[in-house]
């Protein structure tokens, strides 16, 4: 209820206190306070808005809630932000100047703005206040309530002197009905509105609208001052049948038949499956007419769209057009939400004949340790895996396999092209030959795009993980969904097991330690490759040790400036092999002994080392020397200081690093915990100390520090010895002398043992089995989460590639925003998948924009015109259609773009006229690049069919300046905006009157 309630205190004292403010008075006061707070008091002026300001300028809005009793209202201030000139602030507005809103009523610079508030379009004003019912409040429908609100507005404007028009929204919101008022010095403008569902027949033309306008202003002058008329007719084109959609669909037959090569699997599809442009709106405008110039009544009309001086076009895009890349991404993303494992999807494989022998691949390792009469060479893991794989395929019927063999083989050859070469072990050479025919790497071609994996935390675009993401996505979309993905993953894991067993390097992975910038799956594969490299190097070393030439130690390069002070001091994977005693023949090493070299405690080498340990250290035989360390000599001897052959630190993936950090953190901050933590972290240090002692018999801790950490050896003074040579004296740094120093303890416990006899810091067998187990237990949903960053990386590269062909500035900017958003989102260990879905939707929007560009270029014949000037103009026109809400057609209907638009409408009209069979069979005109002449405007075969359909919307602006209400009143601006559509008739009038001389 909006009526004012009686004051609660009046019921207590049983009197009526008329000095107490009513709810209505409080509401009026609250409106005045808001107008004061927004500084809308006093006269309003300013320069006239320039042409295009309403479209290109910045509109701002302020909102505040006010109450009328318990009824909530929202009051909003909308205004065009204008830059104040230097002289504008100094000039004082004239006393009798009209309010800015009244001046805007007659301004013709911004008629029919394509993107603005409805009140701006109807009244042409640049600033206004709207009072509307709050959220979840009923509409103001009754006439009494409407009048009460208008009275409140009128009082507030009069009390404050505000010259900004204030509107009240009445009726239901969907009707967009407003009533308002603007007050100035001795003048007032009333804003009124009429809204009907159907257009009355007598007002369905310009003549009838002029009659309404003249009767409303009621001007007593004769003759009536001239009325300025602005007219816009809008025509809608929906039929594109005369143009085939240029998007080429993917070759499903080739995909389904398995005839898929690396090129097809390596490329994501792109483009819309349907025309993304649903409608073209042509607005023909007559901006400045007078009553006597044009005739438009119920019998005849001069308003021919071809004769309109101004044409403008806007396109309406289809709602959520189906796009290939977007569908690929969304279908792949849905796999993240599944919970089924590979076994649940593919079914457990039973073995009838062989029963318990080795049906399950996961039992392959345990089978190796079981007592059996079969030779151990036949019980290798690879034999177990491949016998199991054969039984899987034999017992799974052909029609049950999600992937047929042809498609599966094509995918595996794309993932592992080295399998088809003569030397599959040389993966690096095969990769260089196959992937870079021009001799340039992907990184050299586009370094910015190549390094995108660092921001997405995915994998390089030339890596196995990247290709696996593309294949998995295509298999999911084309070849059976999640079951096919599970099948492919199972085959992939078996391939990894096979390569590990047979010492085949994994194709498509960079050498070295796992790259922590990449996704975890890529790191795991790199770790497996590291294990294969170490195993191959160790096997090569043992083969050489069994040869007649004898033992030849594998060495690594060193640095003279200290091992901790520079990069490159660690062993390379190929050079980090642990050596085997020459007394141990190659045939005597079984697979099991090969995997666990450090367990051989009874070898001849260890016995020999034990005997030598009892002798004088300075007279021990040096072992494991790499090279001399410059000119340095041992402090206690004149022997040169040698850099030893050392073990390379164990590579780790990010999950292993995190686990290690958690274990170390749980040790606490106590002295005992800190000591234990230091011992755990000193395994590599102890290994290097033992290697150093073996290479430099009789050395001291100071010698080791001089090589390993030169900054911890402080040179104090120079002295001259008996021979007259200068000798530099030095000592350990302060931190090395701290009691209980871990370096001192490690040095005391370290034995002179070369790297080839030490326990391995990196157990490649154990780590490889960890990786293979990790891969085997991954569900399809887990695999999808690992590969999703790589697929988004590929999608962004695809969008960039397609955008480069079309050259769309807005898409270029949006791509950078997507990359920035993705780099923040995907680097998180557990990204918010709702935000990931939003990211996919952003990519889909970009795909749709590029598809729209191609659609428009096809329709307007861009690239077909023989005239260079027309070609450039059409390209600019199409580009503007994508960037701007409405684009002016240069030359209207006679320009290159206008001629094509006219042709499109003519063709559409032919198709629409089903009654004229000849029109349907008539040949279409030439391609859109041709200039349409006057003889082409009325096709002779059209049989009287008009070139354009009836206008979907007609808008008319009527303006004049007349004295009102009396002949001696001031001449004030009057305006009426008329909208005539099929199911809407609206009149929005602004009628000014003189409040001083009436």
| SS3 assignment for 550-570 | CCCCCCCCCCCCCCCCCCCCC
Q: What is the pLDDT of residues 577-615, one digit of tens each?
A: 333 333 333 333 333 333 334 433 334 444 444 444 444
Is residue 622 packed enough to be buried (19+ CB in 10 Å), middle (13-18) or exposed (0-12)? middle
Question: When comparing pLDDT for 669 and 135, which is higher?
Answer: 135
Residue 7 has pLDDT above 60, yes or no: no
Residue 977 has pLDDT above 80, yes or no: yes
The number of angstroms, rounded, from the C-alpha of 757 to the middle of its chain's C-alpha atoms is 52
Of all residues in the chain, what percent carry a pLDDT higher than 90? 29
Tell me which of 178-192, 460-474, 747-761, 926-940 is least confident.
926-940
Residue 914 has pLDDT above 80, yes or no: no
Q: Please give the C-alpha separations between residue 153 and each of 62, 118, 198, 302, 518, in angstroms, as whole numbers.
A: 18, 20, 31, 43, 64
H helix intervals, 438-480: 442-445, 447-450, 452-456, 464-478
- Tell me, what DSSP letter sits at residue 296? B
Please compute the mean of the pLDDT values over residues 1-11 and round it to a whole number.
Answer: 50
Q: Please give the C-alpha separations between residue 80 and each of 41, 58, 169, 181, in angstroms, as whole numbers.
A: 17, 6, 21, 19
H helix intervals, 335-451: 342-346, 364-369, 381-395, 405-415, 427-435, 442-445, 447-450
Residues 70 and 23: their CA atoms lie apart, in Å, by 10
Q: Which residues contact 611 (CB under 8 A, 6 or more apart)?
A: none
Q: Which residues contact 989 (CB under 8 A, 6 or more apart)?
A: 191, 192, 193, 213, 216, 974, 975, 976, 977
User: To which H or E segment does residue 978 belong?
Assistant: strand 971-981
Residue 224 has pLDDT above 90, yes or no: no
Of all residues in the chain, what percent carry a pLDDT higher than 70? 72
CB atoms within 10 A of CB 441: 14
| Structural contact between residues 416 and 495, judged by C-beta atoms closer than 8 angstroms | yes
Cis peptide before 621 (omega within 30 of 0): no
Please compute the mean of the pLDDT values over residues 212-226 and round it to a whole number.
Answer: 85
Q: Please give the C-alpha separations between residue 592 and each of 368, 585, 600, 901, in angstroms, as whole numbers.
A: 9, 15, 11, 79
Beta bridge partners of 166: 129, 181
Closest CA to 234 of 272, 190, 279, 203: 279
pLDDT band, residue 370 (cuts 50/70/90): low
Q: What is the pLDDT of residue 443?
A: 53
Tell me which of 113-127, 136-150, 659-673 is least confident.
659-673
Q: What is the pLDDT of residue 573?
A: 33
pLDDT band, residue 383 (cuts 50/70/90): low
Please compute the mean of the pLDDT values over residues 756-761 and round it to a whole number.
Answer: 79
Segment of 210-219, 667-676, 714-723, 867-876 carrying the highest mean pLDDT: 210-219
Residues 804 and 802: their CA atoms lie apart, in Å, by 5
- Tell me, what DSSP letter sits at residue 293? T
Q: What is the pLDDT of residues 411-465, one digit of tens each?
A: 888 888 888 764 444 444 444 333 443 444 455 546 667 778 888 888 888 899 9
Tell me which of 2-16, 47-61, 337-351 is least confident.
2-16
Tell me which of 16-25, 75-84, 959-968 is least confident.
16-25
Q: What is the pLDDT of residues 560-570, one digit of tens each?
A: 333 333 333 33
Question: When comparing pLDDT for 716 and 55, which is higher?
Answer: 55
Residues 862 and 871: their CA atoms lie apart, in Å, by 6
Q: What is the pLDDT of residue 436?
A: 41
Residue 150 has pLDDT above 90, yes or no: yes
Closest CA to 173 of 139, 135, 123: 139
pTM: 0.71
pLDDT band, residue 537 (cuts 50/70/90): confident
Q: What is the pLDDT of residue 261?
A: 33
Is residue 221 packed enough to be buried (19+ CB in 10 Å), middle (13-18) or exposed (0-12)? exposed
Please compute the mean of the pLDDT values over residues 167-179 and round it to a whole number.
Answer: 94
Segment of 82-96, 346-360, 736-750 carrying the highest mean pLDDT: 736-750
Closest CA to 554 of 645, 658, 627, 424: 645
Residue 938 has pLDDT above 80, yes or no: no
User: To which H or E segment does residue 489 belong?
Assistant: helix 481-501
Cis peptide before 868 (omega within 30 of 0): no
Q: What angle do CA 434, 438, 443 make, to 5 degrees?
A: 85
Residue 94 has pLDDT above 70, yes or no: no
Please compute the mean of the pLDDT values over residues 897-924 and round it to a whole number.
Answer: 71
Residue 635 has pLDDT above 80, yes or no: yes
pLDDT band, residue 16 (cuts 50/70/90): low
Question: When comparing pLDDT for 108 and 94, which is higher?
Answer: 108
Segment of 229-238, 531-540, 592-601 carrying the highest mean pLDDT: 229-238
Closest CA to 285 of 876, 956, 952, 933: 956
Closest CA to 629 of 558, 680, 679, 570: 558
Q: Which residues contact 863 (CB under 8 A, 6 or more apart)?
A: 857, 871
Please compute the mean of the pLDDT values over residues 243-271 and round it to a whole number.
Answer: 55
Tell me which of 52-66, 536-550, 957-971 is least confident.
536-550
SS (H, E, C) 599-661: HCCCCHHHHHHHHHHCCCHHHCCCCCEEEEEEEEECCCCCCEEEEECCCCCCCCCHHHHHHHH
Residue 305 has pLDDT above 80, yes or no: yes
Q: E strands, 886-952, where?
A: 887-889
Residues 696 and 704: their CA atoms lie apart, in Å, by 9
Closest CA to 276 of 314, 235, 313, 247: 247
pLDDT band, residue 239 (cuts 50/70/90): confident
Segment of 504-513, 671-680, 915-924, 926-935 carrying the highest mean pLDDT: 504-513
Tell me which of 77-86, 540-549, 825-834 is least confident.
540-549
Residue 1 has pLDDT above 80, yes or no: no
Please compute the mean of the pLDDT values over residues 73-92 and round it to a whole number.
Answer: 72
Residue-wise burial string across 638-676, b where 16 or more C-beta atoms lie within 10 A, e elsewhere: ebebbbbbbbbbbbbbbebeeeeeeeeeeeeeeeeeeee
- Following DSSP, what letter does each residue of 856-905 receive, concatenated? HHHHTTTTT-S-HHHHHHHHHHHHHHHHSSSEEETTGGGSHHHHHHHHHH
Helices (H) and strands (E) in the chain, counts: 35, 17
Residue 943 has pLDDT above 60, yes or no: no
């Amino acid at each position: 209820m909006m009526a004012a309630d009686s004051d609660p205190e009046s019921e207590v004292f049983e009197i009526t206190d008329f000095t107490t403010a009513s709810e209505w008075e409080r509401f009026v006061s609250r409106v005045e306070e808001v107008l004061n707070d927004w500084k809308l008091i006093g006269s309003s002026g300013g320069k006239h808005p320039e042409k295009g300001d309403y479209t290109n300028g910045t509109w701002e809005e302020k909102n505040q809630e006010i109450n009328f009793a318990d009824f909530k209202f929202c009051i909003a201030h909308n205004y065009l932000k204008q830059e104040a000139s230097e002289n504008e602030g100094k000039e004082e507005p004239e006393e009798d100047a009209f309010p800015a809103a009244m001046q805007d009523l007659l301004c013709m610079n911004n008629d029919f703005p394509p993107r603005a508030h409805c009140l701006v379009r109807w009244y042409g004003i640049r600033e206004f206040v709207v009072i509307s019912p709050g959220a979840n409040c009923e509409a103001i429908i009754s006439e009494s309530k409407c009048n009460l609100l208008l009275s409140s507005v009128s009082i507030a404007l009069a009390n404050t002197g505000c010259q900004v028009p204030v509107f009240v929204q009445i009726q239901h919101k969907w009707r967009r009905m407003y009533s308002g008022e603007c007050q100035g010095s001795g003048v007032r403008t009333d804003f009124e509105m009429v809204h009907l569902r159907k257009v009355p027949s007598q007002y369905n033309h310009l003549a009838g609208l002029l009659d309404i306008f003249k009767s409303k202003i009621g001007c007593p002058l004769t003759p009536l001052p001239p009325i300025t008329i602005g007219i816009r007719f809008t025509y809608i084109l929906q039929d594109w049948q005369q143009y085939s959609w240029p998007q080429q669909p993917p070759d499903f037959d080739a995909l389904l038949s398995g005839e898929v090569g690396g090129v097809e699997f390596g490329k994501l599809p792109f483009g819309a499956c349907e025309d993304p442009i649903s409608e073209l709106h042509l607005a023909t405008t007559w901006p400045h007419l007078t009553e006597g110039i044009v005739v438009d009544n119920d019998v005849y009309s001069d308003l021919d769209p071809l004769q309109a001086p101004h044409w403008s076009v806007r396109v309406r895009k289809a709602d959520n057009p189906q796009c290939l890349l977007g569908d690929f991404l969304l279908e792949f993303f849905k796999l993240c939400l599944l919970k089924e494992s590979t076994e649940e999807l593919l079914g457990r494989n039973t073995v009838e004949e062989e029963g318990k022998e080795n049906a399950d691949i996961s039992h392959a390792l345990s089978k190796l340790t079981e007592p059996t009469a079969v030779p151990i060479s036949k019980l290798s893991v690879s034999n177990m895996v491949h016998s199991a794989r054969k039984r899987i395929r034999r017992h799974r019927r052909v029609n049950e396999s999600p992937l047929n063999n042809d498609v599966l083989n094509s995918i595996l050859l794309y993932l592992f092209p080295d399998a088809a070469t003569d030397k599959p072990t040389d993966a690096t050479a095969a990769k260089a030959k196959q992937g870079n025919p021009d001799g340039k790497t992907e990184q050299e071609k586009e370094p910015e795009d190549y390094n995108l994996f660092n921001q997405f935390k995915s994998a390089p675009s030339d890596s196995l993980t990247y290709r696996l993401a593309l294949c998995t996505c295509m298999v999911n979309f084309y070849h059976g969904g999640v079951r096919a993905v599970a099948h492919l993953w199972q085959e992939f894991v078996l391939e990894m097991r096979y390569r590990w067993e047979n010492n085949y390097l994994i194709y498509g992975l960079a050498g070295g330690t796992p790259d922590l910038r990449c996704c975890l799956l890529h790191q795991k594969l790199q770790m497996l490759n590291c294990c294969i490299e170490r195993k191959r190097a160790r096997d090569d070393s043992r083969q050489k040790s069994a040869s007649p030439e004898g033992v030849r130690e594998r060495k690594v390069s060193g640095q003279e400036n200290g091992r901790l002070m520079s990069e490159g001091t660690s062993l390379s994977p190929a050079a980090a092999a642990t050596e085997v005693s020459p007394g141990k023949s190659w045939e005597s090493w079984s697979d099991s002994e090969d995997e666990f070299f450090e367990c051989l405690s009874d070898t001849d080498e260890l016995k020999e080392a034990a005997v030598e340990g009892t002798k004088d250290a300075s007279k021990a035989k040096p072992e494991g020397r790499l090279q001399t360390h410059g000119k340095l000599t041992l402090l206690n001897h004149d022997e040169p200081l040698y850099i030893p052959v050392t073990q390379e630190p164990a590579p780790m993936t990010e999950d292993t690093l995190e686990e290690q950090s958690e274990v170390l953190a749980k040790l606490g901050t106590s002295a005992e915990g800190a000591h234990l933590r230091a011992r755990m972290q000193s395994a590599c240090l102890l290994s290097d100390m033992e290697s150093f002692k073996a290479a430099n018999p009789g050395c001291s801790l100071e010698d080791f520090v001089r090589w390993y950490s030169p900054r911890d050896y402080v040179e104090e003074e120079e002295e001259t010895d008996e021979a007259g040579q200068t000798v530099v004296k030095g000592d350990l740094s302060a931190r090395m002398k701290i009691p209980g120093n871990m370096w001192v303890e490690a040095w005391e416990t370290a034995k002179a043992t070369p790297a080839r006899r030490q326990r391995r810091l990196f157990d490649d067998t154990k780590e490889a089995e960890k990786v293979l187990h990790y891969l085997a237990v991954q569900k399809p949903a887990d695999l999808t989460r690992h590969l999703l960053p790589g697929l988004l990386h590929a999608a962004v590269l695809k969008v960039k590639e397609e955008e480069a062909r079309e050259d769309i500035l807005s898409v270029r900017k949006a791509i950078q925003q997507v990359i920035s958003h993705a780099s923040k989102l995907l680097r998180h260990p557990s990204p918010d998948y709702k935000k990931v879905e939003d990211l996919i939707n952003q990519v889909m929007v970009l795909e749709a924009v590029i598809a729209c560009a191609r659609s428009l270029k096809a329709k307007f014949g861009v690239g077909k015109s023989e005239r260079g000037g027309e070609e450039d103009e059409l390209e600019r026109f199409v580009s503007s259609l994508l960037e701007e809400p409405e684009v002016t057609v240069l030359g209207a209907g006679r320009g290159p773009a206008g001629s094509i638009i006219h042709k499109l409408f003519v063709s559409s009209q032919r198709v629409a006229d089903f009654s004229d069979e000849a029109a349907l069979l008539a040949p279409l005109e030439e391609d859109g690049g041709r200039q349409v002449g006057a003889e082409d405007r009325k096709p002779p075969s059209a049989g009287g069919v008009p070139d354009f359909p009836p206008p979907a919307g007609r808008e008319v602006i009527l303006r004049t300046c007349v004295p009102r209400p009396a002949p001696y009143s001031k001449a004030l601006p009057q305006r009426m905006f008329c909208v005539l559509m099929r199911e809407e008739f609206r009149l929005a009038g602004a009628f000014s009157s003189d409040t001083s001389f009436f």
